Amino acid sequence: MPPVISVHNLRKTYGKTVAVADVSFEVTKGEIFGLLGPNGAGKTTTVECLQALRHPDSGDIKVLGLDPVIQGSGLQRRIGSQLQESALPDRIKVWEALDLFGSVASNAQDWHVLLKQWGIDEKRNATFASLSGGQKQRLFIALSLVNRPEIVFLDEMTTGLDPAARRIAWDLIHAVRDNGTTVVLVTHFMDEAENLCDRVAVVDKGKIIASDTPHGLITSYATEVRVIFSTDKKDLPWLNKVAGVKKVARHGNRIEVEGNGPLLALVAAALVEHGIVPLDLRSEQPSLEDVFLKLTGRTAVD
Amino acid sequence: MRTLGKLTWIEIKLFLREPITVIFTLALPLIFLFVMGGVFGNTPSPDVYRGVGAMNYYMPSYYGLIMMAIGTVALPVHLAGYRERGVLRRFRASSFSVWSVLGSQLLVSFIIAVVGSILVTILGKVVYAPDWPVNPGLLILAFVMGTVCFTCFGFFLGAVLPSTRAAQGVGMLLFFIMMILGGAGPPPEVMSRAMQIIGEATPLHWVIYMLQNPYLGFEWHTNASLIVAGVTVLSAGLAARFFRWE
């Protein structure tokens, strides 16, 4: 299947600041593709170039077969945008905004349905200024979908949403994709990328430093498993001899064993053999957080 | 086209929900009408008001005042605020054209100018009994030219002024200078020469001449209409040159 988005050697600078150094990737139809990275990594600038909101300094971009630089408004009609920094007039009502933004498409989605789906139905007659941060965010997502876009760009979509609303948003985005819309997600939340994305590109300092499925990234970059338990026994030198163990650390009564392979089973067996049966024995699987740390030496929130 | 229609309708509603602009464009001219009408009535005097009754003089002046309030206060603050807060950015990302954004503002300006002028005319007529316009056809032409002129002037200010604050400051200053010295305040005949010169440098002065002459039955003011057309073209050109979505 030909890609719906292809980006080759995209570069964008603001004066002396290099926002995007050299970015290339492709997105296929029906994918949920994530750009993951810390603030200032160049994710937003990249997707703004794709949405014809900024002109790249150099590089080739094709979105739905169109060149955003010269076919911007034709492209914007076919995509949906949830922007990080934007607003509506203070006194516009929620339903008026959806009605207005639906008017650009000939086959706009019924906004009553969107209001219900995104949980802002009881706010339909409220003005934009009176909405909470989370409600504004959900309205913007609804606006990005009202023209039945072929691709929707969501930039930090769950900022300002409480944990329950985030889960609902993830489910709804899965449903949007299942209806055939390609989703491009910009996020600095590792759990969001891991839960939602089919493929993730890790962006740092204006470049893509790794790109794969979340599972693929974890198996290639973060293979180490941690096994954690508590015991008051002091002397545990035999733990280091268990197959796969690389490091044993102690914080008071809490023991952290790092290594790879079937670590939990082997450590458990060794513990039982030495008469230790901790109630809190558990293992922590590596996550995208560990991938990011491994790739950049930093955590995403740094 | 559908977007232009919807946006115009929403902008009318937004205008009515914004008390400050309603006061400047609709209420203030009415207050002037009653203050000036109460003080000067409509008895002609050869020394002031171009030799006509004060209310005959002020009727078309207040049409111009409404247009000017739109162009200096309402539009620049509205557009600069839209840009500053990211509303224009949001519009653009959804492929709203610059023509639907500015076209809706032009339509709304017309509607406000017409409604405001009808209010002034009806209340003025009921209370002070000024004469009806002598040449309504040319008055309508002057009305259209004046509204387009100040709308373009508002686009220009909204394009170059970077923030809501700047637009409020500059807009208010221009509003009061034009209102007092441009011909909608005290009669030009009683002002000092310096005040007259400043007044003649304002677009409002010429818009009012252009409106007054057909209203009062004087000959079409060609110079005024050319100056107004020039201000329109210049403002529109500068607005197009400096308009930014963000």
Using one digit for the tens of pLDDT, what is the confidence trace for A163-175?
Answer: 998 999 999 999 9
Nearest Cα of chain A lies from the Cα of B67 at a distance, in angstroms, of 23
3-state helix, strand, coil in chain A (%, to 5): 35, 30, 35
**Residue B97 with chain A: CB contacts under 8 Å:** 73
CA distance B55 to B37: 6
The mean pLDDT of A45-70, rounded to a whole number, is 95
Tokens at residue A302, please?
């740094």
Range with the lowest mean pLDDT among A42-56, B34-48, B204-218?
B34-48
Check whether B148 has a pLDDT greater than 70: yes
Do B89 and A86 make contact, defined as CB atoms within 8 angstroms? yes
More reliable by pLDDT, A289 or A135: A135
**Domains of chain A by range and CATH?**
3-215 (3.40.50.300), 224-285 (3.30.70.980)
Neighbours of B42 (CB within 10 A): 19
**Residue A136 with chain B: CB contacts under 8 Å:** none
CA distance A223 to B61: 80
Query: In terms of residues, how long is chain B?
Result: 246
Nearest Cα of chain B lies from the Cα of A30 at a distance, in angstroms, of 21
CA distance A16 to A124: 45
Check whether A28 has a pLDDT greater than 90: yes
A68: amino acid identity, one letter: P
Do A104 and B3 make contact, defined as CB atoms within 8 angstroms? yes
A85 touches chain B (CB under 8 A): yes
Best residue in A78, A90, A128 for a mutation probing chain B (most B CBs within 10 Å): A90
Best residue in B90, B245, B246 for a mutation probing chain A (most A CBs within 10 Å): B90
Could you tell me the pLDDT band of residue A299, with boundaries at 50, 70 and 90?
low
The mean pLDDT of B171-176, rounded to a whole number, is 95
Report ipTM (2 d.p.). Answer: 0.88
Do B3 and A103 make contact, defined as CB atoms within 8 angstroms? yes
Q: Which of B6, B86, B94 sits opposite A76 (nearest CB)?
A: B94
Q: Give the pairing type, strands A199-204 and A245-251.
A: unpaired
Q: What is the per-residue pLDDT across B71-118, written as a single tens digit (0 to 9) for each?
A: 999 999 999 999 999 999 999 999 898 999 999 999 999 999 999 999
The mean pLDDT of B38-49, rounded to a whole number, is 84
Residues 18-77 of A with CB under 8 A from B: 51, 53, 73-74, 76-77
**Residue A89 with chain B: CB contacts under 8 Å:** 14, 82, 87
CA distance A151 to A165: 23
Check whether B191 has a pLDDT greater than 60: yes
Nearest Cα of chain B lies from the Cα of A48 at a distance, in angstroms, of 9
Could you tell me the pLDDT band of residue A287, with boundaries at 50, 70 and 90?
confident
| A to B CB pairs, distance under 8 Å | 60
Q: What is the pLDDT of residue A3?
A: 92
Residues 128-167 of A with CB under 8 A from B: 143, 147
Could you tell me the pLDDT band of residue A301, with boundaries at 50, 70 and 90?
low
Range with the lowest mean pLDDT among A60-69, A163-172, B45-54, B201-210?
B45-54
Check whether B142 has a pLDDT greater than 70: yes
Nearest Cα of chain A lies from the Cα of B174 at a distance, in angstroms, of 25
Tokens at residue A55, please?
């002109």
Q: Which of B2, B93, B97 sits opposite A81 (nearest CB)?
A: B93
Nearest residue to A249 via CA among A233, A279, A228, A218: A228
The mean pLDDT of B168-186, rounded to a whole number, is 93
Q: What is the pLDDT of residue B2?
A: 85
Check whether B228 has a pLDDT greater than 70: yes
Produce one character per residue of A37-50: b if its CB has 16 or more CB atoms within 10 Å, e if not.
Answer: bbeebbbbbbbbbb
Q: Could you tell me how far CA A289 lies from the centroid of its own chain?
A: 12
Do A83 and B86 make contact, defined as CB atoms within 8 angstroms? yes
CA distance A219 to A214: 9
CA distance B242 to A156: 31
Check whether B41 has a pLDDT greater than 90: no
**Residue B16 with chain A: CB contacts under 8 Å:** none
Ramachandran region of residue B109, left (φ > 0), alpha (ψ -120 to 50) or beta?
Answer: alpha
Nearest residue to B174 via CA among B161, B163, B190, B186: B161
A105 touches chain B (CB under 8 A): no
Do A88 and B87 make contact, defined as CB atoms within 8 angstroms? yes
Q: Which of A76, A83, A86 sits opposite B95 (nearest CB)?
A: A76
In chain A, DSSP assigns E strands to 3-14, 17-28, 32-36, 58-63, 79-82, 151-155, 182-187, 199-204, 207-212, 225-230, 245-251, 254-259, 282-284
CA distance A216 to A221: 8
Q: Which residues, other chains included, contact A219 with Cβ-Cβ below 8 Å and sequence gap of 6+?
A: none
pLDDT over 90 percentage in chain A: 67
Q: What is the pLDDT of residue B18?
A: 86
Q: What is the per-residue pLDDT across A184-226, written as a single tens digit (0 to 9) for each?
A: 999 999 899 999 999 999 999 999 999 999 999 988 888 788 8
Nearest Cα of chain B lies from the Cα of A168 at a distance, in angstroms, of 24
A107 touches chain B (CB under 8 A): no
Check whether B1 has a pLDDT greater than 80: no
Q: Which residues, other chains included, contact A246 with Cβ-Cβ below 8 Å and sequence gap of 6+?
A: A224, A258, A259, A260
Q: 3-class DSSP state for residue A122?
A: helix
Q: Which of A83, A87, A99 sits opposite B6 (nearest CB)?
A: A99
Q: Which of B14, B93, B96 sits opposite A89 (nearest CB)?
A: B14
Cα separation of the two ends of chain A: 38
Whether the CA torsion A184, A185, A190, A191 is positive or negative: it is negative
B interface residues, A as partner, C-beta within 8 Å:
2-3, 5-7, 10, 13-14, 17-18, 82, 85-87, 89-90, 92-97
Q: What is the pLDDT of residue A114?
A: 93
Range with the lowest mean pLDDT among A202-211, A217-226, B122-131, B226-235?
A217-226
Q: Is the pTM of this model over 0.80?
A: yes
Burial class (CB in 10 A: 0-12, 13-18, 19+), A77: middle
Q: 3-class DSSP state for residue B240?
A: helix
Nearest Cα of chain A lies from the Cα of B74 at a distance, in angstroms, of 14
Give yes or no for a contact between A250 and A235, defined as CB atoms under 8 angstroms apart: no
Q: 3-class DSSP state for residue A49?
A: helix
Q: What is the per-residue pLDDT across A91-111, written as a single tens digit (0 to 9) for each?
A: 999 999 999 999 988 888 999
The mean pLDDT of B11-38, rounded to a whole number, is 90
Q: What is the per-residue pLDDT across A230-267, written as a single tens digit (0 to 9) for each?
A: 988 888 888 888 888 988 988 888 999 988 888 899 99
Nearest Cα of chain A lies from the Cα of B3 at a distance, in angstroms, of 5
Q: What is the pLDDT of residue A300?
A: 56
Q: Which of A86, A99, A127 sits opposite B86 (nearest CB)?
A: A86
Q: Domain map of chain B by residue range?
A: 52-242
In the block, residue with structure tokens 């170039």: A49
Q: Which residues, other chains included, contact A288 with Cβ-Cβ below 8 Å and sequence gap of 6+?
A: A36, A190, A191, A193, A194, A200, A214, A217, A218
Nearest Cα of chain B lies from the Cα of A131 at a distance, in angstroms, of 16
